Structure 1
Amino acid sequence: MDQERILLVDDDPDQVLLVRRYLLAMGYDVVVAYDGKEAIAKFQQHPPSLAILDVVMPGMNGLEVTRAIKSMTADPLLPVIFLTALEEESDLARCLAYGGDDFILKPVNKLILQARIDAWIRKRRLALQLKSHRDQLAQERQFIEESLSRIRNAPDLDTPDLRYVMTPVEASSGDVLLAATRPDGGRHIFLGDFTGHGLPAALGAPLVSDIFTGMSERGFRMDAILLELNNKLNQRMPPGAFLAAAALEMNPYKQAVQIWNAGLPDVLIMEAGRIIRRVDSRIPPLGILTGDQFQAPTVRSRTSPMQRIVMSTDGAIEAQNANGDYFGADAYEALLLKIQHEELPFDHIHTAVRQFCGATPPQDDVTAVELNCQNLHEPFAESRIIVESAAQFRAHRARQSACGHSEDPTWRLDATLEPDALRGSDWVIQLTRMALHRPTLRRHAQKIFIILRETFSNALDYGLLRLDPSLKYDLARSTQYSKLRQERLRELTEGEIRINIAYFANTGECSGHPCSEQDCSGEFRLDIRDSGAGFDYVAARQQSQGGLRALARLCDEVNYHDQGNRLTITFRLRED
């Protein structure tokens, strides 16, 4: 352990000589000053672990020196011991009031001096150790809170049809809000409220997020996801810990939703300034029942473009003011209707609850999410989209002919997406939805989704945004990739992506002879190009762990053109 340094300040040379000799014998490094100004200079040059000061000195006395060094040091744990001949209680109290921690009466007794100094040095060391542990815990907590914050702020929540507010009591919220999209274009929204709040309650969020996101991306329905969440929480969470939750599944083809409520306040369907339907809790909170006991009944509802669906935790309803009054369900529902009717920002919920509570701090996290159903009915209003029938597309002859496939497409879609449109929607989902209106294509939904996702992200990321593919496939730098992508997309002012999708039905004929692929119902062809400078698609394919390699395995033909800024795909619709 490093030798502790002590600053000794006294205007009496004999006193300094005696006390210094004692301190050196005790094993301390000693820095000496004979007046107040010298003491401050020595303090700045050689910061001590402890200071011993005479009270009565010419010029700056010991009290003034103490106040000065305490104000200039960043060390809040510096002990100051006064040497004094004063015995009046009022004088000793004044020493402590000026920032002193202890005093020793003159003449100095060596045993008392050593006992006092050793005790204060020991306290200081323990305090520094405790501070170090607290700082480490604070860093670890901050890391966990930032990780949980990234989970709560998932990009699937930042879509035009969703508004949400999350006001945690602590930085680590016990509420979980997630959204994800299935390969067939269906969407899931999940809101959960763990028992309690703060870090202990928030620690279940990563488990919930992994299960919800992973199963959604693999195409599982919401009822299966809820069953798996309940089983895992029941197995892994401590007794007494559970998750009240509500979930919503959107069907992009039927303009309908399915809603589940497991212990949260009523899910509200609102239209024209009134609540037209409530979905109350019909399932116990997740994690309480075992797998063989758990069932997930659902409520199905057709939507209209004017409807809003709101899911909320009980944080706002149970908020209290200084009088002990609750905000209440009636006031909360009136607030939601006001927000919809007057087109107020959704975070007006937070403003209204804080005004009600006044100086009383909130006792629970406040979270709510609103779905605007208009997007289910008018999903393609933001871009220049042309969808043509076969008759309208006779002038556009196919460049290649597959065995048994018509030269004229059965269905065709053209889209030109400029910067504002690219920022305004998730076009992989939009394009998938449009393609899957064809019943034949719908049977291949997951593969078509993967094709559109990989080709579109290549055109946008590597073409228009000029991102380095190596960043994406380097796990250590993937966060940098995501951040850079958001920045460049936000700043994008020019450029476009042109997309041509064509479906060719299998006619059963090929230049007058039977088709050799009887299990093939047609072809899905994609021609996508961007106005960027292109990219090294050979190197990107070698670095890819899935993405571009998956395209090569999935599709019958994958052809890059020009400098990589045009890609044509042929995918034959074989029955599995």
Structure 2
Amino acid sequence: MVENPDAKLALVVDDSEMQCKILKNLLIEEDYRVLTCHDGARAVALYIEHLPDLVLMDINMPVMNGYEAAKRIKSLSPNSLAPLIFITSLDSDQAFVDGIEAGGDGILTRPFSPEVFKAKIKSIQRISNLYTQVKTLQQEQQQDAELAEQIMSGVIEARNFALDRIGIIKQAAALFSGDIQLTALCPGGNINVLLGDFTGHGLRSSIGAIPLSETFRVMTKKGFSLMEIIDQVNRQLYELLPVDLFCCVCCVTISSHERSAYVFNAGLPDAYIFNQEGKIKHKVESNHIPLGVMPGLLAHAQLQVFSVEEHDRVVLISDGILEARNHEGEMYGNKRFEYAAKQGFYQGDIPGKVFDAVNEFCLGRPQEDDLSLIDVPCDGWEQALTTGESAHSQAVSEMHDLYLESEPSWKWQLSLTGQRLALVNPVPMAMGQIQEIEGNGEHWNNMYSILTELYVNALDHGILRLNSELKNSAAGFAHYFMVRESRLKNLATGRIDISLSYHPLTSGGKMIISIADDGEGFDLEGFYKQQTKLKQVGEDKVMLCGRGIDLVHQLSEKLEYLDKGNKVQATYVWAK
């Protein structure tokens, strides 16, 4: 009988030449090519050389018995089934148990009929074929997963802002990480940061990462507040994710301009604010359930506000760091993290030091959860806003038609009253209208800052009647924010009118911004007197109020307060 060169290859191992011949002929009838040998050591050598699809192994043989040969063969094929059947005359339970423990996939006891032998071969081959199909599918899934992970990384991580200044590090427990780290620049020069930890890890846990990241970036770019972004993210996750999948998040807005950090922690470990000496200034506990659990945020949901100084740092971590275990089952915990973070502060590398310490603590124990850390400096972000101002001023000086009266090419107006003042943020609406008509441009960042400061002043001081002097201390600023949130929730009266008037210029454009409220008015002269008084206290006195008006003065070509201070008009000019 001529062997088929494409047939599967079998290896028959028996110290009896007659038994080898009988088994070989039976296998050839089943369309196998066959190798034979007469001891276990030779069988191992032939297996390494030819990698057969099936092995038939006698137990009692010279040089190396069948049990030992089977163990070595199985150790050489950890990623394949390599079916191995023991052929023996030992008809005992112990022989069967020993064969299975040695790695055998079955046992045939002599004497047996050719029909029984062939049925056994077909059965084991059917299992082998299924195993091969499963392995092929697994490889295809792995390739697809690796491609998807590359796409995810490109969509999410590669688009993060200021990767040269913000320390971001993660260590996934599987190919896909259930953790997500996002950073984005706000139009006014603030920076938004988000650390998220989806339920579990792997591909399933990361399915909400793309919608979360897109919502976070788009709304940040349009100038929505952090609470508005969080509320929208929660609604999206609730609608998109299965009921057993949700996301713990910690979100932070860092404002160099206000020297403040706004923090919202929903289910993650404490967020840390370190001072310039590496000491812990604040530990911000979670005060909200994870996002995606309920259709809306809890009624008490609000930001926590903290005063920050130059060289302060905000550090966010996932629970995978604190819950990492060593071989004794002991968790890494807060104290070890805080010590490692402090050492990293001194060495200028908090993420690197913390991860080195965690890995050293675990000593190679398999990782149970994703590990993530974000380290954000609290100073220097306002530079993103003021870059290019000298060039802007030079261009403005060349606009000969700047002060000529002209009809606006378009106007936009909006009036908000009563509870709508608490529910609607008109700044992103206004900026969206501007960009829809005039297109995108970096100069709109300054426009956003002017519009935001003037609207917030009208709302806070004109409608809510908040005293800005509260913001002259860290504790006072937090109290100011708390009172503001309380008054907004109970707001029933009041009115603010916003008007934008666009005038095209030869080399750029001019926008006249007018905002009026029906409050008691704003004493501009008194404000400047108070500012002068505060500055005379000394250079070490931190003044958290008044910077908004100073910023608007710097960015505007002209700033006027009319009536009793109820109406303000700013003229912003830019060059193409």
TM-score using structure 1 length: 0.58
- Cross-structure match for 2:213: 209
Q: SS at 2:160's partner residue? A: helix
User: Which residue among 500, 503, 509 is the counterpart of 1:520?
Assistant: 503
Q: SS at 1:77's partner residue? A: coil
Report whether the alignment pairs 1:349 with 2:332: no
Report whether the alignment pairs 1:369 with 2:374: yes
Alpha-carbon separation, structure 2, partners of 1:195 and 1:73: 35
Report whether the alignment pairs 1:153 with 2:157: yes
- Which residues in structure 2 correspond to 1:261-410 (within 5 Å)? 261-273=265-277, 274-291=279-296, 293=298, 296-321=301-326, 325-358=330-363, 361-376=366-381, 387=390, 398=398, 403-404=401-402
Cα deviation 1:366-386 (Å, max 9, x = unaligned): 3221211231366699x9x89
User: Which residue among 154, 169, 174 is the counterpart of 1:170?
Assistant: 174
Alpha-carbon separation, structure 2, partners of 1:364 and 1:61: 44
Task: Give the paired residue count.
Answer: 424
Report whether the alignment pairs 1:130 with 2:134: yes
* Closer, same or farther: CA 57–227 of 1 in aligned 2, 3 Å: closer
Give the letter for the 1:132 counterpart.
T
> How far off is 1:44 after superposition?
9.1
Alpha-carbon separation, structure 2, partners of 1:158 and 1:573: 26
Assess if the C-alpha contact under 8 Å between 2:85 and 2:106 holds in 1.
yes
Q: SS at 1:376's partner residue? A: coil
Alpha-carbon separation, structure 1, partners of 2:103 and 2:335: 55
Alpha-carbon separation, structure 2, partners of 1:64 and 1:357: 36
Alpha-carbon separation, structure 2, partners of 1:153 and 1:185: 21
Alpha-carbon separation, structure 2, partners of 1:363 and 1:12: 52
Alpha-carbon separation, structure 2, partners of 1:403 and 1:338: 59
Alpha-carbon separation, structure 2, partners of 1:30 and 1:319: 52
Assess if the C-alpha contact under 8 Å between 2:252 and 2:262 holds in 1.
yes
* Closer, same or farther: CA 95–313 of 1 in aligned 2, 3 Å: closer
Q: SS at 2:369's partner residue? A: coil
- Cross-structure match for 2:491: none
Assess if the C-alpha contact under 8 Å between 2:231 and 2:297 holds in 1.
no
> How far off is 1:286 after superposition?
1.3
TM-score using structure 2 length: 0.58
> How far off is 1:193 after superposition?
1.9
- Cross-structure match for 1:232: 236
Stretches of structure 1 that go unaligned for 5 or more consecutive residues are 407-440, 455-517, 527-570
Give the letter for the 2:334 counterpart.
A
Cα deviation 1:16-60 (Å, max 9, x = unaligned): 6655554455x4244465878999999899865324467799999
User: What is the identity percentage for the equivalent residue pairs of Structure 1 and Structure 2?
Assistant: 25
> How far off is 1:128 after superposition?
1.8
Alpha-carbon separation, structure 1, partners of 2:323 and 2:67: 53
> How far off is 1:247 after superposition?
1.1
* Closer, same or farther: CA 298–446 of 1 in aligned 2, 3 Å: farther
Stretches of structure 2 that go unaligned for 5 or more consecutive residues are 1-5, 405-430, 445-500, 510-571
Report whether the alignment pairs 1:450 with 2:440: yes
Alpha-carbon separation, structure 2, partners of 1:388 and 1:38: 83
Alpha-carbon separation, structure 1, partners of 2:62 and 2:341: 72
* Closer, same or farther: CA 320–20 of 1 in aligned 2, 3 Å: closer
The 10-residue stretch of structure 1 (225-234 or 238-247) with the greater mean CA deviation from structure 2: 238-247
> How far off is 1:229 after superposition?
0.8
Report whether the alignment pairs 1:181 with 2:164: no
- Cross-structure match for 2:31: 28
Give the letter for the 1:180 counterpart.
A
Cα deviation 1:118-165 (Å, max 9, x = unaligned): 222122122223323333333344344444444553342553331133
> How far off is 1:107 after superposition?
5.8
Cα deviation 1:94-119 (Å, max 9, x = unaligned): 98888765555566531332232222
Give the letter for the 1:236 counterpart.
L
Assess if the C-alpha contact under 8 Å between 1:405 and 1:523 holds in 2.
no
User: Which residue among 198, 204, 211 is the counterpart of 1:200?
Assistant: 204
> How far off is 1:308 after superposition?
1.3
User: Which residue among 247, 259, 280 is the counterpart of 2:263?
Assistant: 259
